[in-house]
Chain A
Amino acid sequence: MARGPRQLLAQPVADALQSALPGIVTAVTDEWLEVASDRVDEALRWLHDTPAWDAAQLSNLTSVDRHTHFEVVYHLQSLDLNHQIVVKARVADHENPVLPSAYPVYKGALLQEREVYDLMGIRFQGHPDLRRLLLWEGYPGFPLRKDFLGIGHGQTTGLQRFPFEDKAAPDRMINAGNIITGERHSGDAAHTGGGHH
């Protein structure tokens, strides 16, 4: 739906990757391509080494808990060609998520993978120093998982409804009925009651 200003369409990248390493691409949209999670290091190495894609820098590495599986998301970029490629790996095993580390390709994965391990509990095989980063060894559980502290069994996390929104038209993205008209001070509602010190 939303691509960054310099983000490549994923389909041509996926086609090239698929023909170089058959069977590696498992899904494609306009925005991102998904690769087999046990071969993600191969895919990254190929994108890094192939001059046409020149994925020289791992710009961002993060993960998403999709309840039944995890997604690990790699935002790659070429500084010379000034483009961005988004690669995802779907980790199907929600109980024991493991995939190869990107560290042999990108040194920049060192702390980012430690962070993902720490907060989401995904292990990266081949990482030289996979320890918790922000929390301490022995911390119970992985806080960014959706079922952390048992929340999520029969309950929904997140914010389903904003208290002040227009209940008559909750699905409208920009809700004209919500706009406060008439006299108002030059600031906005989010500024009242702020805890500035």
Chain B
Amino acid sequence: MPASTEPYVLNIGPQHPSTHGVFRLRVVMDGEVIRDLDMIVGYLHRSMEKLAEERTYTQNIPFTDRADYLAAMSSNLGLALAAERLTGVAPTERSQYLRVIFAELQRIASHAMANGTLISDAGAWQTPLLYMFREREKILDLFEMTCGARLTTNYMRIGGVSFDPPPEFWPALAELVAELPERIDEYFELLTDNEIFLGRTRNVGIISPEDAINGSLTGPALRGSGVPWDLRKAEPYCVYDRFDFDIPVGTVGDVYDRFMVRMEETKQSVRILQQAMAEIPSGPHKNDVALALRPEPGEIYSRVESPRGEIGFYLVSDGTPAPYRFHLRAPSMINLSLLREMGVGSSLPNAVVTLGSLDIVVGEIDR
């Protein structure tokens, strides 16, 4: 008599160690094989887009901290740039460099978190994660001494940034930038030749470049599939066009490639930081602008390259101080467009690593 199996439903989450946020996967399993997969999100929904319609552009900046809470600087920058393009306010020269410095520090911190948790998902419980956290901690200290907050930075402003870094910031930054390359090499040694890690990530969760583009993937998820698309190069904002850096891409499009793209991007961020530190001009950190800006009726879609991909702000103005419509294009959510396709037919451990490699932040999915 042949053995028969019966499909069963398995809930992963809402709370699970591999999802640093409240994210639920409902999978239908047939033995070890996933037959169907559904994501259930919205546990952190705070109705940001609706609330934003009753607040000025500046008052909306703190919301962006709480969307992607692991890359608040990038989201802050996205909204500040969008509002500047809508209102015609120009940022100061010094603040352009400060924005680049903080956005790149944030990218290093966020990639450390993403790769640390990915390694956790792959079974290396906690030790590599804490190694990654060592540098992240120093970066958060730099944020704290500049703007008083570690995660919810609320740092970028329309016309500049909220504070000029204090004098003790610069030596601390120089020290960090000097030691980072060595640290990154240490991680490479620790992980990239680890046979178990390679076994868990190589040829797992492959995304073809065609699917990645058609599925609206951006950021390391797109570049891991070999598409050299980075808004810092394609549509340079701030002063990114003045710096020399490369866009690392993968070849296979698997979990390992997405991991490596993040590692290599960390190195490129260090290069940008070195150049920005050397070239930053003196001057005011912020232009004085009115508390309530009233942009002409119109609209703008403006985007920046956050650690997770294209974070875009679609702002519609009706001439009042608050946006008529405020939409945040969340790369964390849109990068999950292919999750079901990828998950069905694979095994549970592979699906978990694949999800980890897409680097979602649930606050941004749910908004």
Which residue of B50, B217, B301 is within 8 Å of A75 (Cβ)?
Answer: B301
Which residue of A73, A106, A171, A190 is within 8 Å of B216 (Cβ)?
Answer: A106
A-B contact count (CB 8 A): 179
Identify the A interface with B (CB < 8 A).
1-2, 4-7, 31, 56-60, 62, 64-65, 73, 75, 79, 82, 84, 86, 106-112, 115, 119, 133-136, 143-144, 148, 157-162, 164-166, 170-175, 178-180, 186-191, 194, 196
Contact, CB under 8 Å: A175 / B316: no
Grouping DSSP codes into helix (H, G, I), strand (E, B) and loop, the B interface class, with mixed when no group exceeds half, is loop
**Chain B minimum-CB-distance residue to A3:** B300
Q: Say how far A144's CB is from chain B's closest CB, in angstroms.
A: 6
Which residue of A31, A159, A188 is within 8 Å of B299 (Cβ)?
Answer: A31
Interface membership of B318, Cβ < 8 A: yes
A179 CA to B85 CA in the complex, in Å? 21
A175 CA to B321 CA in the complex, in Å? 12
Which residue of B286, B302, B321, B367 is within 8 Å of A4 (Cβ)?
Answer: B302
A113 CA to B358 CA in the complex, in Å? 20
Q: What are the residues of chain B within 8 A of A180 when measuring CB–CB?
A: 288
Q: What are the residues of chain A within 8 A of B366 when measuring CB–CB?
A: 134
Contact, CB under 8 Å: B299 / A108: no
Contact, CB under 8 Å: A190 / B318: no
A179 CA to B290 CA in the complex, in Å? 6
Contact, CB under 8 Å: B88 / A162: no
Contact, CB under 8 Å: A173 / B294: yes
Contact, CB under 8 Å: A196 / B152: yes
Query: What interface size band does chain B fall in?
Result: 35 or more
Q: What are the residues of chain A within 8 A of B290 when measuring CB–CB?
A: 165-166, 172-175, 178-179
Contact, CB under 8 Å: B56 / A159: yes
Interface membership of B264, Cβ < 8 A: no
6 shortest interchain CB distances as A-B pairs: A108-B216, A162-B292, A1-B298, A159-B322, A134-B42, A175-B290
Contact, CB under 8 Å: B50 / A107: no
Q: What are the residues of chain A within 8 A of B299 when measuring CB–CB?
A: 1-2, 31
A173 CA to B158 CA in the complex, in Å? 13
Contact, CB under 8 Å: A188 / B157: yes
A187 CA to B213 CA in the complex, in Å? 42
Binds A, one of B7-15, B104-112, B183-191, B227-235: B227-235
Binds A, one of B20-28, B123-131, B171-179, B333-341: B333-341
Q: What are the residues of chain A within 8 A of B296 when measuring CB–CB?
A: 1, 173
Contact, CB under 8 Å: A4 / B337: no
Contact, CB under 8 Å: B55 / A159: yes
Interface membership of B4, Cβ < 8 A: no
A186 CA to B286 CA in the complex, in Å? 10
A187 CA to B164 CA in the complex, in Å? 8
A64 CA to B237 CA in the complex, in Å? 27
Contact, CB under 8 Å: A190 / B157: yes
